[in-house]
Chain A
């Protein structure tokens, strides 16, 4: 039982991203920072245990969980039925404000307009799952390893458009690049969940309670404000 284990060792091990700002990246001291990191700390605090952050990539985050090297994966995971067969998901802990961005001269007001265009996206991220569902068949979705690949592909003109978080796009815009990622349309807001191993009802229940409490108390909203620059949406 993972929860008992956490309580007895007084530590919770959490997988967090370090290549996916604003959810997880590193500070100039190479320590992880971001929405997911704050979330992990919040959970640790509520559980009254020490938090051990394990930086992961999209390729190894689930194996970390499955081999019991971490207790939770807080890595802006989106749910889908296949994934739910392998791990359990908590309630949503973060909204995902993401959209399709592109330069001025490309018009794309809705998903159908992506037909025949190339769109860069980070492989396995929520926007990848969503975009794959809604984009027309002729859309050329290019899936890069991490956020940087996606952004670089856009900036170097390898793709017409990118699908990414709006904070990321804003940060890029702030640098005033030759190619400006301006919002075209928002992808359906698909919230992120925390992942944990199957058959851990106690832990699942506990984390869900913490999330619900944090929503009510406004702590979650504070994190959203800090990292996403916006309040949690109403349905949260």
Chain B
């Protein structure tokens, strides 16, 4: 059974139809890269899956449960799916450790000691055990993004959505974040990631989705999508990327 079922999803901002009927099924453990030009609707799609945007029509189901736009269902959904943003969005007034602990304690009512233990474990997993007491502004961009990953993981989600999580990083820092993601993938985490790192998509992902003008233009295994693009749009996109 699919973990995430996206069926005929449409979404407009005003008169601008950004998603024009999207269908994707994601199986547990899949690692899917979403690629496409700026403005093709990649971020919007992820945000719809996580309920940050409401969809106009179609349906999204996670682990068999429909996404409904009321507070209760949304929160239940977000317990199953974590999201990581391009701009990290760490809570600047909390230490790295507290960032990871907060939602466990507030949402899941985990006792402080347990939350802290989990936080330490998660920070360790992203290689930042020693930064437990550092504030976000004391961390590099790559470290901040890894804390954001740890924070999402601490909620023990079934899947993670990643929206260009390395785009705001200096080139040297990109790899440390991608290494963490690669490890997650290897451990069987379901991942849906918008990315411009084609090499990474090719090496790590099980499937690649090429979005174009609000549609899934091509979808397939990385070797097919990258090695044998069918549509001129994808060819052009890949050509541009290589330049």
Task: Indicate whether A and B are direct neighbours in the complex (CB within 8 Å).
Answer: no
